[in-house]
A and B are shown apart, each in its own frame.
Chain A
Amino acid sequence: MKKFTSPTIFFGMLCLLLVYSCKKQIGDIFSDPSKPEGLQWAKEYYAQHLQQQNSFSVKLSGSKGTLTTTDLKNNKKTPVWTKASEGITFQYTFAEIPLRYAHKITPTLALSKNPDERPVANPEVIDASFDRLIIYKDKNGKIGQRIISYIPDEAYLKKHKGNISHNRINQMDKDFFGYVHYKDWEGKALFAIRVENGKAVKRYNLANNVKRGISNLAQSAKPSGSKVMVLPVDPPDCIYLVTWDWYQDCYYASEEATTPTYCDPVVIYNVESILISCNEPSGGGSGDGGSSDPGCPGLIMFETGECVVEEPEVTLDSLIKQFCDNLTADQKAIINTSVTALKTFNCATKYIYEKFKTENRSFKFCISAQDGNASYGFTKGFNFGSDLAAAQMNIVEHEFYHAFQQTVYPGGIEQYGRPENAPPNTLPNAGFVNTEFEQMVMNDMINGNYLAFTNGTPSQKDLYEDWVKAVTNNYSTYPKLKPEGTPTEVAEYNNFMTSYNSFLAAFNALPNNPYHSTALNMQPYAIVNLFNHINRTCP
């Protein structure tokens, strides 16, 4: 055998020293960089709200088994932040932190006809169960906490060779069968979720649990190998969900270890039950994997245990550039539906929609109370006075025509807008009536409506309506106007404009007309442009 020489030993020690000195850096390289920094908010919450309230006692009075004395022990809970992980769902940002106790308490749950059923311990299941602290922040920034216990079914545990600690509350094994038990920091049981195939299939409210006397139980538990955690249930008797809390002292290899190296045998510590149903078969949570419940397709709310489903992401219409910040998801969906519907509402809206899309135009949309049902402004975009207004296609169409006018009028139409919205250095009522009247005529010719003289006299109403019918050949064509065309086309245009301007003047003179303006007889650029591009049937 070759003997080690001094230089060899020296070289070996040097290598060890080098490795040791590099240990911290190597560890840093392989650590998860997202953990500590991303959880600062959770750490601060813990420090401010939970750390000081950490002296809850474990009362062992009345228990039998390995520990036989009536005892009151402090049960300090210690989050292991180095093993914490962060999760994000559509409802929460949350931290999931392994939790160690001075004395491990493990709940196990079963459906039973007898709330005083003798508890049966399964040491493998109890040893593999573990607690985590969840500190969550909802979309409004509200922070809360829960302690969750993962309690596997025996078969699932065996399949994973006795270790299920890789599960996270938002990433559970697809073959997970068992319970997730929720309590608050003070230890009050809140609810339990039956999980099958990795999905929540049943929620049990534990808030009104009835505490059972341990002395009533037949005998305390003894570790008994491979006992089944879920007891058989036969209808039609009453069914209880029984929670047995097991106590044990566990020993860890280090301060940061989350899995104990050894635990004392369990002692029954607390029994609670809650009536689930009477005179009907089990309401779920059988634990045998046979439930037909498809499970919660969304997320279990940490506060209540209720299932919430994420609303599907709405694909925004390309004409929507942005929404006002205060709009709800429902309001955005209403607007999106209305804007998209413009594609098929009529040939005019279809043409304008496609024109805007081709020109990469998009708009801002808001909903807030205002005079009238809606308004459009070049800089402010569209505003609807209410959700109902945003859902009314004829109101959306009306404002859409104004957006079209903006693109075809030299210099846009904002200069002719509502007197109160008139830009600086423009006449307050420079030509408002022209754009509003033109919009109404467009609408009436396109849709066979009668908008322009709603407040007029019966004579005006009739004359206007007869004119609209005449120039559209009883709503079968659109007037094709060519102010720069041949002499015949110019004559036709002038003929049209004579009537148009006559009606415009009558409209402008309507009593208390809010659209009244001093400037009249502007060319109806939008009518000329639009009707030269569309027909009664769309391409």
Chain B
Amino acid sequence: MKTLIHILLISLSYSCWTQKPLKVGRYELDGKTFVVKKHTFGEKTIISILVGIGENFENKNYPPPQNKYASPPVKRDIHFDTTLVKEIVLKTLSKKQASFKARNAFLSVSLTFKRDGKVERTSYSLHNQPNITLEEIASIDKKIKAGSIKATFTGIEYLDYQYIHYPSFDVFF
């Protein structure tokens, strides 16, 4: 009985540890690296999560455009189903929506696409301290990269670039 209680307590503490709010650092999960940073601008504090693979991925430059003076692609020329991304976020965090809403918390999602439209890289910013765990971010990230999100491009600017960044968009609860 005593042993059983010990096992239960250990399990409970482990599960509490894994559910704890994000802290600045570098984490490995599902074969991906999650780099958590804190940015402070005046009174605003933002938690940023960069998701990538490999060592020091966050400090490697995106390749330059073919034409050195090329203008980068703009938001209006990048098209994909943002509603689907929002649905993924809201469904994953459905149990926490009420508390997020109460503190005006929101999650910004930033996507980088390859020229073929597939999602290459993601990053997330947490505003107004939503209590989101690494597992939840990892779950959202997995669903976004599952293949249902694909972009198309218009204009001429994207033709010069290997990777096309879509500016972050916000998901409110």
Q: Give chain A's interface residues, CB within 8 Å of chain B.
A: 371-375, 386, 388-389, 392, 394-395, 398, 443-444, 447-451, 454-459, 461-463, 465-467, 469-471, 474, 495, 499, 510-512, 514
Contact for A459 among B58, B63, B157, CB less than 8 A: B58
A88–B152 Cα gap in the complex (Å)?
50
Residue in A374, A389, A465, A512 whose CB lies within 8 Å of B64 = A512
B41: A residues at CB distance < 8 A:
466-467, 470-471, 499
How far is B77's CA from A113's CA once the two chains are assembled, in angstroms?
61
Query: Does B110 contact A462, Cβ atoms closer than 8 Å?
Result: yes
Given the complex, which residues of A lie within 8 Å of B59, measured CB to CB? 457-459
Nearest Cβ in chain B — how far from A254, in angstroms?
Answer: 69
| A residues in contact with B37, CB < 8 Å | 459, 462-463
Contacts of A470 in B (CB 8 A): 39, 41-42, 44, 46
Compute how far the CA of A373 lies from the CA of B157 in the bound complex, rounded to whole angstroms: 8
Distance of A511 from chain B, by nearest CB (Å): 6
Q: Bound complex: CA of A337 vs CA of B110, how far in Å?
A: 33
Closest to B122 in A: A458
Q: Judging by beta carbons under 8 Å apart, are A395 and B165 in contact?
A: no
CB contacts (< 8 Å) of B123 on chain A: these are 458, 461-462
Within the complex, what minimum Cβ distance (angstroms) separates B27 from chain A?
A: 16
Taken together as a complex, chains A and B put the C-alpha atoms of A462 and B76 apart, in Å, by: 20
Q: Within 8 Å of chain A (Cβ to Cβ): is B65?
A: yes
Q: Is the CB of A395 within 8 A of B125?
A: no
Cα A469 to Cα B45 with chains together (Å): 11
Contacts of A373 in B (CB 8 A): 69-71, 156-157
Which residues on the B side are within 8 Å of A444 (C-beta)?
Answer: 167
The number of residues on chain B lying at the interface, defined by a beta carbon within 8 Å of a beta carbon of chain A, is 44
A389 and B156 form a contact (CB under 8 A): yes
Question: Known: A455-B64, A456-B61, A514-B68. Contact between A462 and B125, CB under 8 A?
Answer: yes
A/B interface sample: 14 pairs, CB < 8 A: A371-B68, A372-B68, A372-B69, A394-B74, A394-B76, A450-B167, A451-B72, A454-B161, A458-B52, A462-B125, A467-B39, A469-B46, A474-B127, A511-B64
Q: Which residues of A contact B67 (CB under 8 A)?
A: 371-372
Q: Does B168 contact A (CB under 8 A)?
A: yes
Pick the 5 closest A-B CB pairs, nearest first: A372-B69, A470-B41, A454-B72, A450-B167, A514-B68
Q: Which residues of A contact B48 (CB under 8 A)?
A: 462-463, 466
Asked if B2 is at the interface (CB within 8 A of a chain A CB), the reply is no
CA A471 to CA B39, docked complex, whole Å? 13
Task: Given contact pairs A457-B58, A470-B44, A495-B42, enumerate 15 new A-B contacts (beta carbons under 8 Å).
Answer: A373-B156, A389-B156, A443-B74, A447-B74, A450-B167, A454-B72, A454-B161, A457-B59, A457-B62, A459-B37, A461-B110, A462-B50, A470-B42, A510-B61, A511-B64
Is the pair A459, B50 in contact by a Cβ cutoff of 8 Å?
yes
Query: CA A461 – CA B110 in complex, angstroms?
Result: 10
Chain A nearest CB, measured from B41 CB (Å): 4
Interface of B is mostly: mixed
With A458-B52, A466-B125, A495-B42 as known contacts, state yes or no: A512 contacts B157, CB within 8 Å. no
Tell me whether B61 and A454 are in contact (CB under 8 A): no
Do B70 and A372 have beta carbons less than 8 Å apart? yes
Chain A residue contacts of B60, Cβ below 8 A: 457-458
User: What residues on A are CB-neighbors of B165 within 8 Å?
Assistant: 450, 454, 461
Q: Which residue of B lies closest to A492 (CB)?
A: B42
Residue of B nearest to A399 (CB): B71
Give the CA-CA distance A465 to B37 in the complex, in Å: 13
Q: Give the complex CA separation of A394 and B70 in angstroms.
A: 12
Tell me, in angstroms, the Cα distance from A456 to B61 when the chains sit together.
5
A457 vs B54: C-alpha distance when bound (angstroms):
14
Which chain A positions have C-beta within 8 A of B157?
373, 392, 394-395
- Which B residues lie within 8 Å of A443 (CB)? 74
Cα A510 to Cα B64 with chains together (Å): 9
**Distance between Cα atoms of A511 and B50 in the complex (Å):** 21
B163 and chain A: residue at smallest CB distance: A454
A465 touches B68 (CB 8 A): no
Contacts of B121 in A (CB 8 A): 458
Q: Is the CB of A469 within 8 A of B168?
A: yes
Residues 56-109 (chain B) with a chain A CB within 8 angstroms? 57-65, 67-72, 74-77, 108
Within 8 Å by CB of A455, from B35, B62, B108, lies B62
Provide the bound-state CA to CA distance between A512 and B62, in Å: 12
Known contacts: A455-B61, A469-B108. The answer to whether A371 contacts B39 by CB under 8 A is: no
A interface footprint on B137-148 (CB within 8 Å = 1, 0 otherwise): 000000000000
The interface residues of chain A lying within 8 Å CB-to-CB of B52 are 458
**B70 (CB) vs chain A CBs: closest residue:** A372
Interchain CA distance A448-B78 in the complex, whole Å: 13
Taking CB atoms, residues of chain B closer than 8 Å to A447 are 74-76
Whether the pair A474, B170 counts as a contact (CB closer than 8 A) is: yes
CA distance A193 to B81 in the complex (A): 57
Give Cα A495 to B41, complex, Å: 9
Residue in contact with A454 in the complex, picked from B42, B58, B62, CB distance below 8 Å: B62
> In whole angstroms, how far apart are the Cα atoms of A454 and B77 in the complex?
15
Name which of A462, A465, A495 has the most chain B CB atoms within 10 A of its CB: A462
The reply to whether the CB of B155 lies closer than 8 angstroms to some CB of chain A is: yes
Do residues A463 and B74 form an inter-chain contact, with CB atoms below 8 A? no
User: Within the complex, which residue of A398, A459, A461, A512 is in contact with B68, where a contact is CB–CB below 8 Å?
Assistant: A512
User: Min CB distance, A349 to chain B, in Å?
Assistant: 14
- Is A466 touching B62 in the complex (CB atoms < 8 A)? no
Instruction: Report the minimal beta-carbon distance from B39 to chain A, rounded to whole angstroms.
Output: 5
Residue pair A455, B58 in contact (C-beta under 8 Å): no
**B72 and A457 within 8 A (CB):** no
Find chain B residues with CB under 8 A from A395 CB. 71, 157
Find chain B residues with CB under 8 A from A457 CB: 58-62
A372 to B68, CA, bound (A): 7
How far, in angstroms, from A219 to B91 measured CA to CA in the complex?
95
Q: Is the pair B44, A371 in contact by a Cβ cutoff of 8 Å?
A: no
> What residues on A are CB-neighbors of B110 within 8 Å?
450, 461-462, 465
